Amino acid sequence: GVILNNISIGGLNGARAGAAYTASKHAVIGLTKNTAFFYAGDGIRCNGIAPGAVETNIGQSMSNLNEFGMGRAMLGMGLNPRAGQPNEIANLALFLVSDEASFINGAIVVADGGWSAY
């Protein structure tokens, strides 16, 4: 079997979002790696995708935004080469759950167009 967690670049960096979101994404990275190790012998792989900005409607679901927090989190957006498309993340997900990725286990794959490379 394969478990694929959708994490976020926020799980690898500290300033992409608010504290609770960032902490929860860091936790999912730990859970992914722990699960990968503990269940590898049972033929279960566990990986994660850490997307950067993706063109979704996530902003529409946000309310009561903290001006200070948003101002600080948005500072790095100017470094973002572009936002991804949902199908780009879906294609990566399809690869990671396929037999072609059978030796990939415990990995967190960044899909952010180079945003975190700077």
- The Cα–Cα gap between 45 and 1 comes to 6
Strands 45-51 and 2-6: parallel
Q: Which helix (H) or strand (E) holds 68?
A: helix 67-73
Residues serving a catalytic function are: 21
Catalogue the E-assigned strands of the chain: 2-6, 45-51, 108-111
- The Cα–Cα gap between 69 and 84 comes to 23
Give the amino acid at 66.
N
Asked if 35 and 79 count as a contact pair (C-beta separation under 8 A), the reply is: no
